[in-house]
Structure 1
Amino acid sequence: MMIKPIDIANQLDISTSTLRNYETKGLVPIPARSSKGYRIYTDVHVAYFTCIKAMEPGFGMDATSEILRYMQCKEMDSALRIVNEVQANLHRDTLLAESNIQILETEYLSIRDAQEMIWMTIGEVAEETSLPRSTIRHWEKVGLILSSRDPENGYRRYSRSQLHKIMLLRTLRPAVYSLDLIGLKQAIAEMDPSDIEHAKRIAHQSLQFLFKIKREQLSGVYNLYKLCRLLNLID
């Protein structure tokens, strides 16, 4: 049965140009054409389009694109490998977010920093957070964190409170781009180092944001499962 692009677009609340864009990028099977040149979309195309719409919020467009290209080649195991990798990364980041909350619940170093001025070099911060130095420098460049300069050698140095900011940002580093993510990063950047309660609230918000992504991933996997069933890749 031929399904009109406008009907699919209305069903998924996207534009017909978005459908064509997905097709151009190779994310759905190439549709046949009618004698008048119109695209002949089928239930399979609808399933692919639905899968894209469902998976993108939780997996991001890059991973979603790779997954659906594998599906067109009937390489379901390769597609599931990517799904598992993205989910494993999110689980890792959730554990990091929970660890951040525990640290903030037990440490009050942001207040003590002002008195003791405990400084860490960028190398020490990179080792503590398992982040590349380039990432730390980038966050400083865009204004998410601050450093001062060692008066003896001019090297960057970071307070413990800035380390807390970096640890919060680390949990959001691979998260799918969204307005919520932008808002969280901005809240971290504007966080008052002396306000430990504010820091804890942001840490809890970051954790809830990651849980939201987990729920979005569940919806994406459910629609991927339905696509696999339609393609007779699983019983």
Structure 2
Amino acid sequence: MRPIDLAREHGLSAQAVRNYDDAGILPPTVRTETGYRRYTPLHAQALRAFLALRGGHGHQQALEIMRATNRGDSESAYRLIDAAHVALLTERNTRTEVATALGSLSTTAPTPLRGRPLTVGELARRLGVHPATLRTWEAAGILDPERDQATGYRRYGPDCVRDAEIVRQLRRGGYLLHQVAQFIESLREAGGTDALTAFLDSWQDRLRTRSRNLLTGAAQLDTYLTMLDQT
């Protein structure tokens, strides 16, 4: 087969196939006396495996997996694949923690702060916690109060007070500080609880898609490995 023959199946250019060949994605290629590349079904399957792996692992990691496979270093290839699954599981657990934290919040919204920002003592009394607790939350990266330019004292504005009230609810629910920090960060990035709900749904869809892509890539790579064993 010629480069264009491999390219047509995937809507690629012949040059893209040659580039993948030069990058080590395909097994060693036989050339004719005039220097033209000639490919076999083994090369076609290697290209299928790479493109499928890319959907779940990304371009660079898929490239490294194929390079390791083609040089006979299956241990390195398997480690890369395993690492991707570990990372996906970690991300899935993080998403579950954030979703559970959202579901544990009271359906009653905190009373909005009106007027001037609160001091440490005022916010502590509002929440029913010790001022040192607020400093602990700040040290954990959960709260980020402003500072009075003249005195250097902390000043807790409306957003900071809202976050502190959410933290209090989550801590009462038994959540650890790092879990609370993850939730607050996700809440800020999403722009509120309603937006966070939509964000979590989208996040779940992305996780499902990546899981399926990893399975598809593994299946194509397994076919390629079987063909390698038969050569």
Tell whether the structures are fold-level matches, with TM greater than 0.5.
Answer: yes
After superposition, the Cα gap between the structure-2 partners of 1:202 and 1:72, relative to the gap in structure 1 and judged at 3 Å, is same
Structure 1 residue 85: Cα displacement: 0.9
* Match among 198, 218, 225 for residue 215 of structure 2: 218
Query: Is 1:68 the equivalent of 2:84?
Result: no
* Match among 166, 171, 176 for residue 185 of structure 2: 166
SS of match in other structure, 2:34: coil
Cα separation, 1, equivalents of 2:107 and 2:185: 15
2:191 is aligned to 192
RMSD: 3.3
After superposition, the Cα gap between the structure-2 partners of 1:113 and 1:91, relative to the gap in structure 1 and judged at 3 Å, is farther
Structure 1 residue 153: Cα displacement: 6.9
Cα separation, 2, equivalents of 1:199 and 1:33: 56
1:16 is aligned to 14
Cα separation, 2, equivalents of 1:97 and 1:164: 9
1:205 is aligned to 202
1:135 is aligned to none
Cα separation, 2, equivalents of 1:53 and 1:82: 16
Cα separation, 1, equivalents of 2:147 and 2:108: 19
SS of match in other structure, 1:231: helix
In structure 2, the gaps of 5 or more residues are 124-133, 167-180
Cα separation, 2, equivalents of 1:57 and 1:210: 12
Higher Cα radius of gyration: 2
After superposition, the Cα gap between the structure-2 partners of 1:75 and 1:110, relative to the gap in structure 1 and judged at 3 Å, is farther
Cα separation, 2, equivalents of 1:199 and 1:55: 30
After superposition, the Cα gap between the structure-2 partners of 1:226 and 1:60, relative to the gap in structure 1 and judged at 3 Å, is same
Structure 1 residue 53: Cα displacement: 0.6
After superposition, the Cα gap between the structure-2 partners of 1:33 and 1:166, relative to the gap in structure 1 and judged at 3 Å, is same
Residue-by-residue CA offset, 1:149-184 (whole Å, 9 max, x unaligned): 433279xx984389646347xxxxxxxxxxxxxxxx
* Match among 40, 43, 50 for residue 42 of structure 1: 40
Structure 1 residue 108: Cα displacement: 5.0
User: 1:6 corresponds to which letter in structure 2?
Assistant: I
After superposition, the Cα gap between the structure-2 partners of 1:21 and 1:110, relative to the gap in structure 1 and judged at 3 Å, is farther
| Equivalent runs, 1:1-235 vs 2, <5 Å | 3-107=1-105, 111-112=109-110, 114-115=112-113, 120-121=137-138, 123-125=139-141, 149-151=146-148, 152=152, 159=160, 160=163, 164=183, 166-167=185-186, 189=189, 191-193=190-192, 196-232=193-229
Cα separation, 2, equivalents of 1:94 and 1:113: 33
SS of match in other structure, 2:58: helix
Cα separation, 2, equivalents of 1:110 and 1:84: 43
In structure 1, the gaps of 5 or more residues are 129-146, 169-187
- Farther off after superposition, 90-99 or 105-114: 105-114
Displacement over 4 Å in runs of 4+: 108-111, 116-120
Percent identity of equivalent pairs? 19
